[in-house]
Chain A
Amino acid sequence: MRQLTRVTLAFALTLGAGLAVAGIAPSANAEASHESEETFTLGMKNPLPPELFDSNLVVTVGEPLAEPVAQPIQFTHERHAGTLGMDCTYCHSNARKGLHAGVPATSVCMGCHALIDTTDRPELVKLKEAWDKGEVIAWNKTHDLPDYVYFSHKRHVVAGVACQECHGEVQTMGVNERVASLKMGWCLDCHAQHPSIDDNYGTKAELRRAELKDCWTCHK
């Protein structure tokens, strides 16, 4: 028994030593490469792969959604799109035209808000200040697709997909939040059987469905 313990210990020590070396080695090399940055020997950099922590390993049922994202200015879709009934494309005018729906320029906000009293409305004061200083407002992204995804708002809007189908009932949201997982399987559910495919393509709907399942439709 004692010997068994010894064997186990010896193995554990070996493994530990190996791991320590393996752990130190990259950092030692990183220093070396930093040094050689000047002379340029290695055209590579060292990212530790974030995919190590890919949640896709787990079968995703009910993907946890993002928390409501706080914004630098507490903008409410509920008021603009809900109460006031503004059209989505009034502000997100690029949604019909390009890949990105885009966030409106401050000038678009000021188109109305220049006329609106800011007394006791601290959020509007922030907007006004940003406008006066010409500062860019850094909105936080609620919906963020990976860089390897090609997504065209135009194609979807033109095809007749309602904004709410992906973004949820935005007109009721005080603080914007993401309601869809935006994961590949979620996209595919519509690409396989969205009613707009039949409406738009009629007899060619089958071909279009096949095209929509082509990986290169969305991956770039």
Chain B
Amino acid sequence: MSSAHASATGAPVKAVYKHLDSLLQGIHDLQAAGHRDFTVLSPIPRHEIEEALYRGEPSPVRWFTLLGGIFGGTMVFSLASLTHANWPMIIPGGKPLVSIPPFLVITFEGTILWASLMTLVGLLLNCGLPFTNPPKQMEDPRFTNDCFGIVFTGTGADTSKIVHILEHSGAVEVTHG
């Protein structure tokens, strides 16, 4: 299905790889040609791919986790303290109203809960999930099974050059248009 006659710019391109080393070669070749706006699809997470694309830059999800934890802990501790102080009941006799050790338990739980909820939010935001209308090039069952892929959904570069690079890197199938 591959075509050497493609020459338009901006057409979507999909390359399917059977082998990881071919895929990495493709990524490398594309990057060498100055392309950045492609998506790599993979059935499994491979650190080689991440390394090749992001050069070890950490994901911003961690900030969500941190803020969630701080918010959760503070909120739960204030909830307990403020409600106990608002209605000063002697429970049990003589203990201070705002009592640190028992409140630490729920503060801990609140921290974990909100940290994980915010991690979830961070994950969804960063991944762009739910991914409702993926380009149809990405909707290939092989990408969740046993194949890797490189997809250009729309690029300003010359499609034929991209197809050329992809085909030469070892893609088993390259389609465009």
Contacts and interface: CB of A to CB of B under 8 A. Distances in A.
Taking the complex as a whole, does A directly touch B, i.e. does some CB pair lie under 8 Å apart? yes
Chain B, interface size category, equals: under 10
Contacts of A213: 87-88
Contacts of B88: 210, 213
Contacts of A210: 88
Chain A, interface size category, equals: under 10
Interface string A196-217: 0000000000000010010000
For the complex, would chain B's binding face be called helix, strand, loop or mixed by DSSP majority?
A: loop
Contacts, number: 3
B84 to A, nearest CB: 13
Interface in A132-157: none
Nearest to A213: B87
A213 B90 CA distance: 12
Interface in A78-100: none
Contacts of B87: 213
Nearest to A188: B87
A20 B87 CA distance: 45
Interface in A33-78: none
A213 B85 CA distance: 13
Nearest to A214: B89
Interface in A166-220: 210, 213
B85 to A, nearest CB: 13
A199 B79 CA distance: 34
A187 to B, nearest CB: 13
A215 to B, nearest CB: 8
Nearest to A210: B88
Interface of B: 87-88
